[in-house]
Amino acid sequence: MVTEADVMLDADYADKLVAEAAKKALDKARREFCGVENQARYARIIHLKNQPPPPRTALQIKNHVLANAHQLDEKIAGRRLRGEPGYEVDPAVEPLFRLLCLYFARDPRFETEDPLYDPANPNRGRKLHKGLLITGNVGAGKTTLLRIFRQANPAAGMSFHEASYEDLDQAFISQEKEKGGAKALAKFCRQPYFIDDIGREPGESGHFAEHKNVVEVVLETRNQQCRPAHEFHATTNLSELRIYQKYGKRVYSRFLENFNFLAFPPDAKDRRTGQNPDEFDAHIAALEAKETSTRN
């Protein structure tokens, strides 16, 4: 016989079962919701990680370059290991350093602050669509300066590889007939590059019956392939006049078409010796006088 107490007990048990089922269902729903939410959050994180970093401003580039110069140049890294300061922007180089910050930030001031700027004449003055040709005395720091800007603003497509005039020359004069010549310079034409010390290469490099100037070949090929000029940079010890004298009118015209000529000041110190040009000349004159007196 079922008593009232048994009915009450069964009702309590049923309520307990319903409560437990409801709790389990609620917990499951919460877990599923949290799982979906976590998946969405994870997807957002992955999406943000895969996004390229925003382009840097000129000030951000300045801070980035000075903070990371030792990672891009072995000489600066060596000074850091010896406890010496890293890259320092001395007053003579500061205007040029600022121009590079503006250029690699794609800042319009690179063009508009040029005294030759003329909106009506697109061929006058500095241009962001051109590459850079850094000129200056021996030891002024041309190579180091371009090297430390090599990864200044990758988000704006302003990173590049490095090679020297010797790399171009050696690639051209390869002893293997199928590998040398103008076709061996293709990689320097297809990719963004900075060529160090142009002007020191031979007037013509030879590969079997093929004799050409390697810098001329690269400039001509890049123009034929319509490669962006701002992806090609160089350094040289030659002045603009000596570039004209070495390469001739036609190639000099290519230089004007492809490069912004940016020069170190004539009195820039040799970063290797700490001497300015006058002090260096005086040092050489003293050596010559000493040698003359020794002979006599």
Q: Return the SS3 of 270.
A: coil
Is the pLDDT confidence value at 67 over 90?
no
C-beta of residue 205 within 8 angstroms of C-beta of residue 214: yes
Q: pLDDT, tens digit, for every residue of 101-143?
A: 999 999 999 999 998 888 888 778 899 999 999 998 888 888 8
Is the pLDDT confidence value at 159 over 50?
yes
Burial status of residue 124 (CB atoms within 10 A of its CB: 0-12, 13-18, 19 or more) = middle
Q: Which of 33-37, 63-67, 81-85, 192-196 has the highest mean pLDDT?
A: 192-196
Per DSSP, the chain holds a count of helices (H) and strands (E) of: 11, 7
Is the pLDDT confidence value at 7 over 50?
no
Mean pLDDT for the chain overall: 78
Which is more confidently placed, 210 or 160?
160
Q: Flag the least confident range among 66-75, 106-115, 187-196.
A: 66-75
Q: What per-residue confidence (pLDDT) applies to 134?
A: 94
Residue 136 φ then ψ, to 5°: 170, 170
Nearest to residue 162, comparing CAs of 174, 177, 144, 180?
Answer: 144
Q: What per-residue confidence (pLDDT) applies to 216?
A: 83
Q: What per-residue confidence (pLDDT) applies to 234?
A: 92
Q: What per-residue confidence (pLDDT) applies to 180?
A: 63
Burial status of residue 210 (CB atoms within 10 A of its CB: 0-12, 13-18, 19 or more) = middle
Confidence of residue 8 (pLDDT cuts 50, 70, 90): low
Confidence of residue 2 (pLDDT cuts 50, 70, 90): very low
Q: What per-residue confidence (pLDDT) applies to 14?
A: 64
Is the pLDDT confidence value at 6 over 70?
no
Sequence letter at residue 157: G
- The mean pLDDT of 145-161, rounded to a whole number, is 81
Q: pLDDT, tens digit, for every residue of 238-261?
A: 999 999 998 889 889 989 989 999
Residue 213 φ then ψ, to 5°: -85, 125
Confidence of residue 82 (pLDDT cuts 50, 70, 90): low
C-beta of residue 255 within 8 angstroms of C-beta of residue 219: yes
Q: What per-residue confidence (pLDDT) applies to 96?
A: 92
Is the pLDDT confidence value at 208 over 60?
no
Structural domains in the chain?
A: 58-263 (3.40.50.300)
Is the pLDDT confidence value at 37 over 80?
no
Q: Flag the least confident range among 17-21, 215-219, 248-252.
A: 17-21
